[in-house]
Amino acid sequence: MPLDPQIIATPEFWHQPLAERMLQFADLREQGPFLEVTAFDPLVGHDISFHAVTRYAEVTEISRRPLDFCSGRGSTSITDIPTEAMEFFGSFIVMDDPRHARQRAIVARSFTPKQLQGVLDSVERICAEVIDGFCQQGEGDLVEALSQPFPLLVICDMMGIPRSEFDTVLRATNVILGAGDPDMIGGREDVLGALIDAGMELAGLMNELAEFRRTNPGDDLTTALIHTDVGEDVLAPEELAPFFILLSVAGNDTTRTAISHGMNLLSLNPEQRAVWQADLGGVTHSAVEEIVRTSAPVVFMRRTVTHDLELSGRQFREGDRLVLFYGAANRDPRVFPDPESFDVRRDPNPHVGFGGPGPHFCLGAHLARREVAVAFRQLLARLPDIEVAGPVVPLASLGIPLVGGIKHLPVRFTPTAPVGTGAG
């Protein structure tokens, strides 16, 4: 008997191991390209109906057509959020052109491979620094030891956030990324209030730094965004804090979740680990793409139908919500041979783990790929026998999570000496 599509709306579905959840998505995907789902949203306290999009062709087609399927009506979350709050947390990913194009173009000037080179070079140093912090222990929680601090330290250093404020940024981003997990919001019952407070904390930190950088320029992204060449546009003061919230949340969740899921995938597929470990230089690129395909850290983005239309034989009405499930699309057998298998040499691998094609493709994909590659090259070289040593603990999301995160991943390894990066 086919699965009931309403299963997507249950917490139990999202708390399953990744492989089991994706096998259920496989059943749902074969029922049709669009599935009608009604989910209770704990943030608003009532049911919300949407169309779940689980096939690759439809996910990519919707992504390519922002005039028909927009991001700025209601939000990219399943729940409709007031525009001001939506943009505070989402910056330009919840906007449509021309505002989206303007803000993205400003930020994109600093996200070209050439402009990012200094940051990319620092990734190696920061990763070595983080591994130095736990490599002598022989065991630990990989999330707390590496997955969580590493990408966030890269972002803080890139923006010019002092290390003394790192714990503040970590705590606030955990609240926003935590999908309502009680451990992440400090036991607060007011989830929405916790999210707003975390966002305000990040905004206050960025506004203080921006004010300082206006008279004291530095070699960081904050300076680049508020000082520019004659004739170039800059982010307005009220646009800078939302961008920092987006970067510190969306900019670290892909890396953080990919590292955690990647380590678990290697534990579950030792033959693939052996292939990668035997040729770190040759296999890392394709292995990183396969980790992102298989784990699909960003669970979904919503698009809203802008006018009555037909897609793949289905009629939609203006205002319909279409929720693009990237992990399901990444395992569509119409595109990926043997899609449930983890293959570190998979090629081609046109996954949508960084979003579908179109104007909202992840601006930081280049940096995220570099971070995941560096993390595994260093882990597999410095801690060659590292292995998962206990159960994977997922985030206890209240509803459908935006990020399919891992909260705890116990590992063990033979202790080794720090390499001594001299960073700090």
Closest residue by Cα to residue 383 from 362, 363, 411: 411
Beta strands in 317-422 (DSSP E): 321-325, 387-388, 393-394, 406-408, 410-412
- 112: its two tokens: 């070209």
Which whole-number Å values give the CA distances from 31 to 13, 321, 331, in the listed order? 18, 19, 15
The values of phi and psi at residue 229, to 5°, are -70, 160
Note the pTM of the prediction, 2 decimals: 0.93
Q: What is the rounded CA–CA span in Å between residue 240 and residue 185? A: 25
Closest residue by Cα to residue 130 from 144, 118, 119: 144
> What secondary structure does DSSP assign to 165-221, as a single string?
GHHHHHHHHHHHHTTT-TTTTTT-S-HHHHHHHHHHHHHHHHHHHHHHHHHS--SSH
In the chain, where the domains are located:
5-412
Q: What is the rounded CA–CA span in Å between residue 196 and residue 175? A: 10
Pairing mode, strands 393-394 and 406-408: antiparallel
Q: What is the pLDDT along the chain (424 residues), one digit of tens a residue?
A: 889 999 999 888 998 999 999 999 999 999 999 999 998 776 667 788 999 999 999 999 999 999 999 999 888 988 888 777 778 777 888 899 999 999 999 888 877 777 778 888 899 999 999 999 999 999 999 999 999 999 999 999 999 999 999 999 988 888 887 766 777 777 666 777 788 888 899 999 999 999 999 999 998 889 888 887 656 788 888 889 888 888 888 778 889 999 999 999 999 999 999 999 999 999 999 999 999 999 999 999 999 999 999 999 999 999 999 999 999 999 999 999 999 999 999 999 999 999 999 999 998 898 999 999 999 999 999 999 999 999 999 888 777 888 888 999 999 999 999 998 544 4
Pairing mode, strands 321-325 and 46-53: parallel
For 234-262, letters b (16+ CB in 10 Å) and e give ebeeebbbbbbbbbbbbbbbbbbbbbbbb
Judge contact between 153 and 126, C-beta under 8 A. yes
Q: What is the rounded CA–CA span in Å between residue 321 and residue 335? A: 25
Topology, domain 5-412? Cytochrome p450 (1.10.630)
Q: What is the rounded CA–CA span in Å between residue 401 and residue 180? A: 9
390's CB contacts (< 8 A; 6+ apart) are 410
